[in-house]
Structures are given as structure tokens and as C-alpha cells.
Amino acid sequence: MVEITNYPLAVAVCFLAMICWGSWQNTQKFTGKGWNFELYYWDFALGILLMSVIYAFTLGSFGSSGRSFIDDIGQASYKYLGYAVFAGIIWNLGTLLLVRAIAIAGMATAFTIGGGLAWLLGIILNYIENPASYSQTLLYIGLGFIVITLLASYFAYKRQSESLKKPTLVAVLLSVCVGVLVAFYYVIMVRALDPDFSAGNSGKLTSYTAVVFFSIGAFVSTIILNPFFMRRSIEGGSVRMKQYFSGTRKAHVWGVAGGMIWSSGNAFSFMAVSAAGSAISYGLSNAAPLVAAIWGVFVWNEFKGATTGIKRLLFYMFVFYLISLTIVVLSRA
């Protein structure tokens, strides 16, 4: 298997994960009008599983380091396989709830509360798991800048949206649930990972094996959860499975591509855990909103015609993102 043992390389891989996690949602824009998110999500979940298997039989099996994917499954404990599957289930539920919260209250409320809480809480939880590897002072300074960044992002979206929906108690509660679920999924996954892949049979998993079983959990839970969400689509009304099977090849291809891009980010992030530590891997990879904002501002013109005040907030958002990422990286170095 391919191992990453060098910290600078691990940081670079985390940035690749950040790009993947901040870019996958663009594929939904290419599926065409009338293709609901719930329909898109079937292909998205399939793409996640497909790409995880590809990585397992390539990067997870080539080379002389550690254990190959097949060998790793042979020694794996059901306990740790279960951790990975459970992580996929709770992440999947969190993602579906996030989309629902955005539909109810808008991007500013749902993304800032849900995504922001997941980012902050995830870094703290992963730091608690392994505190000896970090500078506590630098890490918490970085978290402070993350809070400032999220506030700048919130007010930029709020001012730009003329028809901003007021946050309801339901939307806020959904967003909080999203933050908790997404933050805890990473911690559970890290507990399933073997910190020393060359140390023989530990029962724990290589990152590639863990990502495959995570993807199985996400895919199976999609079969259970998505029909429920289809009954009350975020676009309004209900969605039927016959609409999925009558979809265009273009819509299905872009959905699978979106899942493969997200899954690549997942694989990259967990590849870096051994060298970078889980708090750094999670913190950098989940800075994906920076990449998403770049797409929104410079490619999709989501802030076209924005006032000077909004542009200033966007500038501050990008600056504080870069500052927070730099400090988080230095907290491990």
C-alpha cells in the first residue's frame, strides 16, 4: 500500500482533499434542470463507493509497505469494520440533513451553523484524541480565526441574498445536528485506523480499507434514508424512483463523478492522518468552504453585483481562511 510518512507531503494531500470536498457540488449544476438533489444523490452515493474500491485495489494494494487491501480485510476485526460502516451512516445522515437545513433557512444559516460547528468541533475532538502532537496555543488561535472567518462568510451571504429566509428553530436544530454528526464521523473513523500498518495483525484497518467500509455504510444508508427524503423533496413535492430510471445519461454520469470526487477527498484525508495527525487532517480537509466560495465567487458569479461592503466581507473571509489554515498547519509543525 502507499503510505504517507512525511508531514509536508501529508499537508499537501490534505489540501488535495480540501479541493475535492470543496468542488464536488459543482457536478450537480451540470446534471441539467429538473434533476432533483434526491435523484442526484443515488448516483453520488454510488460514485463514493466505486471510487473507494478503486483506491483500495490500486494505492491500497500496490507497493511493499504495510498490508494490501485483501490482506487487511483478512486480519480486520469486526469491531473496527463496524466503526467504519457506522461512520459512513452518520456522515450520510448529516449530509442529507444539511441539504434540508439549507432548503429551510438558506445557505448563510445552515452552512455557517452546520458546517462551521462541524469544522470547529471536529478539530477539537480530534485534538482531544491525540493532544501530545500539537501546540495547544497555536491550535486554539487557529480556531479563533476560523470563527471570524465563518462570521464573515455568514454576513456576506446574508447581505447578498435579497430573499434570505429567516432561520427557524427547526432549521437551527437541524444545523446543530449536522455539525455534531459530521464532526463525530471523523473521530470514529480514526479509531478504526491502525497507526502502524507494518506492525502485524492488530485488527485495525488501513485508511483504504476503512474508506471502503465507510462508503458501504454511506451507500446502504442511502437506500434506507433517501426514499424518506424523496417524499418531501427540497425543491418541493415528492420524487419517484421512476424519475431516476428515466434520467439522462448526462445526469447519471455527473452524479457518479461528484461522488468519485468527494470519495477522493475522503481517501486523501485519511491517508494523511498517520503523518499529520487527525486534527490537522480534519481541519485542513474540512476547509473546503474556502474552495466552494472561490467557485461561487469567481466561476458561478454568485456575488455578481455585490456592494462594496459585501466585497469587503468576502475579502476578509478569504484572508482569515488563509491565516487560520496557516496557523493550524504550524500547530503540528
pLDDT at 108: 56
Q: Identify the DSSP state of 165.
A: P
DSSP string, 50-111: HHHHHHHHTTTTSSSSS--HHHHHHH--HHHHHHHHHHHHHHHHHHHHHHHHHHHH-HHHHI
pLDDT at 174: 83
C-alpha cell at 169: 428553530
Cβ-based neighbour number of residue 17 at 10 Å: 26
- Tens-binned pLDDT, residue by residue, of the chain (333 aa): 888 989 999 999 999 999 999 889 889 889 988 898 899 999 999 999 999 999 999 999 987 777 899 999 999 999 999 999 999 999 999 989 887 777 676 655 666 777 778 888 888 898 888 776 788 899 889 889 888 887 887 787 777 765 555 556 777 788 888 889 999 999 999 999 987 665 555 799 999 999 999 999 999 999 999 999 999 877 678 899 999 999 999 999 999 999 999 999 999 999 999 898 898 899 889 877 778 778 877 887 767 777 888 888 888 888 888 898 889 888 875
pLDDT at 168: 65
- Residue at 80: amino acid letter: Y
Determine the Cα–Cα distance for residues 26 and 242; give it in Å rounded to an integer: 25
pLDDT at 162: 59
